[in-house]
Amino acid sequence: MGIRRLIGSQNISSQEKLMKLLGKEGFELTQATLSRDLKYLKVAKMPDDKDGYVYILPDKEHAVEDVEFAGPGLNGLISIDFAQGLAILKTLPGHAAMIAYTIDNLGAYEIAATIAGDDTILLVPRDGVTRTDVVNVLKLKMPGLMPDFVQ
């Protein structure tokens, strides 16, 4: 991903500078999208003698915690579909409540709420959040959950 590489290779002190660098690499995105991406990646700012504050990537320990949060029992997702702006997640029987609970506790801005049955989850995205945004946040925050067929 361009953001990780750029932040890892140079001192970047503002979203504006990061957006310009990403634009030079062919990425077109809005400031709101970049803000969400930085939040997904858990990018923080750290004091720097030369540039004031610069973006830093989370350490490897935190990245491992994110993967473990998905947990081995959360691999029951069968499919994800969209209708009327809502996401419908089909799970193995008995898995929906556990997966929905985990999704609700991700702290992801894109997801307003979930409602779980036995084998189905209704996921309500926030206004303006696209299908791609929903899939990306689930893949990023819960890598063990999303099956390979979900693009």
* Tens-digit pLDDT profile for residues 82-98: 999 999 999 888 888 88
What is d(CA 112, CA 56) in angstroms, rounded to the nearest whole number? Answer: 28
Residues 21 and 72 in one domain: no
pLDDT in tens, 18-74: 999 988 888 888 888 888 888 888 888 877 778 788 888 876 433 333 333 334 345
Identify whether the C-beta of residue 126 lies closer than 8 Å to the C-beta of residue 111. yes
Residues 136 and 69 in one domain: yes
Note whether residue 17 is domain-resident. Answer: yes
* 111 is a domain residue: yes
pLDDT in tens, 117-139: 989 999 999 999 999 899 888 88
- The C-alpha atoms of residue 50 and residue 70 are separated, in whole angstroms, by 39
The answer to whether residues 51 and 97 belong to one domain is no
Cα separation, 69 vs 73, in Å, equals 10
Nearest to 129 by CA among 86, 89, 98: 86
pTM summary value:
0.51
Give pLDDT, residue 62: 37
Its sign, for the CA torsion 135, 138, 142, 145, is negative
Q: How confident is the model at residue 144 (pLDDT cuts 50, 70, 90)?
A: low
Question: Over 90: is that where the pLDDT of 2 sits?
Answer: no
In a domain, 114, yes or no: yes
